[in-house]
Amino acid sequence: MNSIRSSQCFECETGTYKEVSVNYYSQLSDGRGCVTKNVTISRCDSCGAEIFDSKASQLIENNIKRLFPDYYECSRTKRTEG
Ligand SMILES: [Zn+2]
């Protein structure tokens, strides 16, 4: 394991990550879209690479579940024929 400072960008290795609050757009696999507001992510100030921590991912997932309660249900029960 390398001990990389969490603030240094993995992509360009010159920029540093800054916490930014964004409205994150998720494209669901069935074509619908879901916007999660005020998601705090880390974005590189040099190349723009974005990192979602587990908290941000959870926030987005919960928002999708709340707005589209049938979505996960749907993908769980959907089976391919045959
Ligand atoms: Zn970068």
Ligand 1 midpoint to CA 53 (Å): 16
pLDDT (tens digit per residue) in 59-69: 999 999 999 98
C-beta atoms surrounding 59 within 10 Å: 19
Ligand 1 midpoint to CA 9 (Å): 5
**What domains are defined for the chain?**
17-76 (3.10.20)
Phi, psi (rounded to 5 degrees) for 5: -65, 130
pLDDT (tens digit per residue) in 9-44: 989 999 999 999 999 999 998 899 999 999 999 999
How do 33-44 and 17-27 pair as beta strands?
A: antiparallel
Ligand 1 midpoint to CA 76 (Å): 36
The per-type count for the chain, helices as H runs and strands as E runs, is 2, 3
Global pTM reads 0.69
Q: CA-CA distance, 70 to 65, in Å (whole number)?
A: 8
